[in-house]
């Protein structure tokens, strides 16, 4: 299944997925590029945070991501 985006490019679901994955990597890299010292100190801080709290933060982040995807797909009429 291919679709045509508003710029005229033909896309496939795998192509779209790879674009989104690439954007995730770019966004994830920004703190390491701009604030490497703060990232190191934050990593040290994470050593003292309880595992349950980190798991809760991960679950909240995952559900927030799902909500963003849902809202985005609803806004796009998908």
- Say if residue 24 is in the same domain as residue 57: no
- Say if residue 4 is in the same domain as residue 40: yes
What is the rounded CA–CA span in Å between residue 67 and residue 73? 10
What is the rounded CA–CA span in Å between residue 52 and residue 58? 10
- Say if residue 12 is in the same domain as residue 40: yes
C-alpha distances in angstroms, 36 versus 14, 30, 62, 72? 33, 10, 25, 31
Which pTM does this prediction carry? 0.68
- Say if residue 3 is in the same domain as residue 39: yes
Instruction: Give the pLDDT confidence score for residue 74 in this predicted structure.
Output: 86
Question: What residues have CB less than 8 Å from 5, skipping those under 6 apart?
Answer: 11
Question: What residues have CB less than 8 Å from 3, skipping those under 6 apart?
Answer: 10, 11
Instruction: Give the pLDDT confidence score for residue 58 in this predicted structure.
Output: 95
Instruction: Give the pLDDT confidence score for residue 4 in this predicted structure.
Output: 65
- Say if residue 59 is in the same domain as residue 33: no
- Say if residue 39 is in the same domain as residue 54: no
Tens digit of pLDDT at every position of the chain (78 positions): 666 666 666 778 888 888 899 999 999 999 999 999 999 999 999 999 999 999 999 999 999 999 988 888 888 776
- Say if residue 8 is in the same domain as residue 19: yes
- Say if residue 29 is in the same domain as residue 65: no
Domain housing 71: 50-78
Instruction: Give the pLDDT confidence score for residue 57 in this predicted structure.
Output: 96
């Amino acid at each position: 299944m291919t679709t045509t985006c508003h710029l005229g490019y033909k896309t496939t679901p795998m192509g779209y997925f790879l674009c989104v994955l690439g954007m995730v990597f770019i966004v994830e890299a920004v703190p390491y590029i701009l604030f490497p010292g703060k990232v190191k100190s934050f990593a040290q801080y994470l050593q003292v945070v309880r595992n349950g709290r980190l798991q809760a933060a991960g679950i909240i982040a995952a559900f927030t991501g799902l909500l963003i995807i849902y809202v985005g797909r609803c806004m796009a009429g998908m």
